Structure 1
Amino acid sequence: MTDYVDGYCERVAPGLWGEPLNSLSNLAFLVATVLVWRLAAGDRTGRLLAGLIGLVFVASTVFHLLATRWAAVADSGAILVFALVYAVVFVREYWSRRWAWVAAPAFLVLTAATALLGGGLYLSALIGLGVFTAVLAFRRDAYWTHFAVAGAIFALSLSLRTLDRDVCDYVPVGTHFLWHLLNGLVLYLVSRPIVLSGRR
């Protein structure tokens, strides 16, 4: 688990500061954490989401600083925990408190299925955003636009993440840092409606 991981254009050798852009761009998650925390103003669900975004910030920063396999697992794990909790929170808020618990295992099954079909670990999140957008649009909830925009931004960020290793010869720093910057915005956009809906 302490094996060295060289998975991005920017990293060319071991070392704590081998990925400066990938490390610093994680500040986008910290900004999202602070914004959601302040917006929550004591709302427990909002504070929970803010805390989980903060966990993503810590885990991703540690991974891009240390570049070890255990840190990579922690990074992916933090993202997965946010996604699972968010799925439950969304279903509880917009569909049914009784069936909210089903959202987490359903998302795990979707993630496993997309991964086995070659779609990676994050395609399920993009599909989820599409479903959330459709649900809110059908309910004529004004916040459906937040999810539509978040889905479009996430599709772009996922494309940039995928392209990182393919553009190394042309863009030595790669494109992974843009994945962080855009996803900080995505996490804020999907958290905001939950907090504001709770106030309603």
Structure 2
Amino acid sequence: MTDYVDGYCERVGPGLWGEPLNSLSNLAFLVAAVLVWRLAEGDRTGRVLAALIGLVFVASSGFHLLATRWAAVADSGAILVFLLVYVVVFARRRWSRRWGWVAAPAFLALTAGTALLGGGLYLSALIALGVFAAVLAFARDAYWTHYVVAGAVFALSLSLRTLDRDVCAYVPAGTHFLWHLLNGVVLYLVSRALIRPQRTQRTQ
């Protein structure tokens, strides 16, 4: 688990600053966490989402600084925890508490299925964004546009993540840092789409 991981175009050797752009771009997650925390105010679940985004910041920063296998597992684990909590909260708030018990296993099954196709955790997240947008659009919920925008941004960020190693000859820094910057936007948008309706209900 302490094996060195050289998985990105920017990294040329061991050391904490082997990926300066990939490391610093994680600040996008910290900014998103702070914005979501402030937006949540009295919404306890919103504060949980903010804390989990903060965890993504810590785990991803650790991975790109240390470049070890255990740090890579922690990075993926933090993302998975956020996704599982999010789908449960979405199901409970948009449908019912009962659906919350189904949401996490359903997402894990989807992730297992997309993993067989080579998409893993990220393809299932993109599909989930499409499902959320469709569900809210059908219900005439104005926040469906948040998921459309988040899905479009995430599709772009996923493409840039995929291209990272392929463009090394032309872009020495790679494109992975853009994955971080764009995903900070995605996490803010999807968190806002859950928090704002609750705030509206409290003020009515």
Taking the aligned partners of 2:147 and 2:73, their CA distance within structure 1 comes to 27
Aligned partner letter, 2:141 = D
What are structure 2's unaligned runs of at least 5 residues? Answer: none
Please give the per-residue CA displacement for 1:54-88, whole angstroms capped at 9, x wherever unaligned: 00000000000000000000000000000000000
Q: How does 1:63-142 map to 2 (within 5 A)?
A: 63-142=63-142
- Which shifted more, 92-101 or 125-134? 92-101
Q: Give the equivalent residue in structure 2 for 1:57.
A: 57
Q: Give the equivalent residue in structure 2 for 1:32.
A: 32
Taking the aligned partners of 1:155 and 1:189, their CA distance within structure 2 comes to 14
Taking the aligned partners of 2:41 and 2:146, their CA distance within structure 1 comes to 20
TM-score by length of 1: 0.99
Superposed displacement of residue 30, structure 1: 0.2
Superposed displacement of residue 142, structure 1: 0.6
Superposed displacement of residue 139, structure 1: 0.6
Is it true that 1:152 corresponds to 2:145 in the alignment? no
TM-score by length of 2: 0.97
Q: Give the equivalent residue in structure 1 for 2:184.
A: 184
Taking the aligned partners of 1:117 and 1:17, their CA distance within structure 2 comes to 34
Superposed displacement of residue 42, structure 1: 2.3
Please give the per-residue CA displacement for 1:170-197, whole angstroms capped at 9, x wherever unaligned: 1000000000000000000000021111
Aligned partner letter, 2:144 = W
Helix, strand or coil for the counterpart of 1:38? helix
Q: Give the equivalent residue in structure 2 for 1:4.
A: 4
Q: Give the equivalent residue in structure 1 for 2:171.
A: 171
Q: Give the equivalent residue in structure 2 for 1:14.
A: 14
Superposed displacement of residue 113, structure 1: 0.6
Superposed displacement of residue 33, structure 1: 0.2
**How many aligned residue pairs are there?**
200
Alpha-carbon RMSD across the aligned residues, in angstroms, is 0.6
What are structure 1's unaligned runs of at least 5 residues? Answer: none
Q: Give the fraction of aligned pairs with identical amino acids, expressed as a percent.
A: 85
Helix, strand or coil for the counterpart of 1:122? helix
Aligned partner letter, 1:59 = A
Given that residues 80 and 121 in structure 2 are in contact (C-alpha distance below 8 angstroms), is that contact kept between their aligned partners in structure 1? no
Taking the aligned partners of 1:33 and 1:164, their CA distance within structure 2 comes to 26
Taking the aligned partners of 2:166 and 2:193, their CA distance within structure 1 comes to 36
